[in-house]
């Protein structure tokens, strides 16, 4: 058994949103020391949920612009003397990297550079590992300079960084098809010898994998079970009579907009975005919960059988948040927070995997002796 098996790892979460990644860390047995989140509603949600007794009641939440915070000051304040940050999490805003942005859009979006502000905290906190999440669009050639600079800074500051890994949440038990990129970095005194990254999928659609003992993908059916009593997030958009009639004409459990007979003027010459106004099929993993997941005009976000969009609670369940996690700020704000979050279950799988690596006897011995080892330069 590892020498650190009974110790709580200390975690910091940047661009923390409502706290999906932090909650995953708590479920994995970590303690969140502080978090940074600029959006007021998300920061309020974070404080009221992650700060609950039994989670990380002493967590400090900075509701500030990360570009004006002092990474050295926060490092000295929260990790004085010999205190160590074990893991730095973060999900920098992804709008500039979004694959929905066509042509050259997003190339010069200032939000892209926030991954470099993230690294300022890596440099001064010196976590034993960092794990950053973003959208697959960050891997597009048009954004190469940002990622190259991130890797340059990592190597210059003594970190081995694995190649970006595009993971699908379905493959780890989340009832949602959601692809996101995760980048893992290890401090140079952390040995990666024999380490596997990313962790092997636990779920699959392949009959061959299932026959070999892998679990099948999880359907989103349980998201539509009755909500908790007096749940403030049991709310959906109010629709006009014409739209309600269109939903009523859409077949249950996966019916599309075209099935309803409703044809929008914008689709006369272009019949794209066929998922818009479509019903979710509860027998399969749900579509990706975006920041507009409660708005049927933005995707396949209509309830499987009822004639309205999904509720914030149903979207949160698809993102594997527990029912006692309440999102602040109203329906639209809740949808944004839910869509931006790292699915809790996926985050937990990844963090447990990293924690096991950091807790290995080899790394405990190195940490205890303050020795240095040469890491595997996984990105070279």
The pLDDT value recorded for residue 109 is 44
Q: How far from 223 is each of 162, 226, 303, CA to CA, in Å?
A: 34, 9, 10
Q: Which tokens sit at 188?
A: 């140079």
Q: Which tokens sit at 320?
A: 């594997």
Q: How confident is the model at residue 361 (pLDDT cuts 50, 70, 90)?
A: low
pLDDT at position 4 over 70: no
Q: How confident is the model at residue 311 (pLDDT cuts 50, 70, 90)?
A: very high
The pLDDT value recorded for residue 371 is 33
Q: How far from 319 is each of 21, 40, 136, 296, 330, CA to CA, in Å?
A: 11, 21, 18, 17, 18
Q: How confident is the model at residue 264 (pLDDT cuts 50, 70, 90)?
A: low
User: What are the sequence ranges of the domains in the chain?
Assistant: 9-209+343-369
Q: What is d(CA 351, CA 355) in angstroms, rounded to the nearest whole number?
A: 6
pLDDT tens digit sequence for 65-112: 999 999 999 999 999 988 999 999 999 985 544 444 444 444 454 455
pLDDT at position 19 over 70: yes
- The percent of residues in the chain predicted with pLDDT above 70, rounded, is 85
* More confident: 140 or 217: 217
Q: How confident is the model at residue 8 (pLDDT cuts 50, 70, 90)?
A: confident
Q: Looking at residues 315-324, what average pLDDT do you find?
A: 98
- Structurally, at CATH architecture level, domain 9-209+343-369 sits in 3-Layer(aba) Sandwich (3.40)
Which candidate, 130, 120, 121, places its Cα nearest to that of 187?
130
Q: How far from 173 is each of 235, 242, 250, 319, 342, CA to CA, in Å?
A: 26, 37, 29, 11, 14
Q: What is d(CA 303, CA 282) in angstroms, rounded to the nearest whole number?
A: 9
């Amino acid at each position: 058994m590892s020498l650190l098996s009974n110790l709580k790892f200390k975690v910091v979460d940047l661009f923390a949103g409502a706290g999906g990644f932090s909650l995953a860390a708590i479920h994995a047995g970590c303690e969140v020391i502080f978090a940074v989140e600029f959006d007021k509603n998300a920061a309020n949600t974070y404080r009221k949920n992650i700060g609950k007794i039994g989670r990380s009641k002493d967590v400090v939440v900075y509701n500030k612009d990360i570009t004006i915070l002092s990474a050295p000051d926060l490092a000295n304040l929260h990790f004085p003397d010999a205190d160590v940050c074990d893991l730095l999490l973060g999900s920098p805003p992804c709008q500039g990297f979004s694959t929905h942005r066509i042509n050259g859009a997003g190339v010069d979006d200032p939000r892209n550079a926030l991954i470099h502000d993230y690294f300022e905290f890596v440099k001064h906190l010196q976590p034993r590992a960092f794990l950053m999440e973003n959208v697959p669009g960050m891997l597009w050639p048009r954004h190469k300079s940002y990622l190259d600079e991130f890797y340059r800074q990592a190597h210059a500051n003594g970190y081995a960084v694995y190649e970006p890994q595009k993971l699908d949440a379905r493959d780890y038990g989340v009832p949602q098809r959601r692809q996101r990129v995760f980048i893992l970095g290890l401090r140079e005194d952390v040995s990666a010898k024999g380490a596997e990254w990313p962790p092997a999928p636990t779920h699959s659609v392949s009959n061959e994998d299932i026959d070999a003992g892998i679990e099948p993908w999880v359907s989103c059916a349980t998201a539509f079970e009755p909500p908790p009593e007096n749940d403030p997030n049991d709310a959906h958009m109010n629709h006009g009579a014409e739209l309600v009639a269109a939903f009523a004409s859409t077949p249950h459990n996966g019916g599309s907009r075209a099935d309803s007979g409703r044809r929008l003027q914008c689709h006369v010459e272009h019949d794209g975005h066929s998922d818009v106004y479509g019903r979710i099929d509860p027998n399969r993993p749900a579509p990706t919960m975006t920041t507009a997941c409660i708005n049927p005009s933005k995707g396949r976000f209509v309830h499987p059988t009822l004639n309205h969009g999904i509720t914030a609670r149903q979207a949160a369940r698809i993102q594997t948040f527990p029912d006692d996690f309440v999102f602040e700020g109203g329906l639209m704000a809740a949808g944004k927070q839910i869509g931006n979050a790292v699915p809790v279950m996926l985050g937990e799988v990844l963090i447990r995997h990293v924690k096991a690596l950091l807790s290995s006897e080899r790394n405990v011995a190195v940490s205890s002796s303050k020795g240095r080892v040469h890491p595997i330069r996984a990105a070279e």
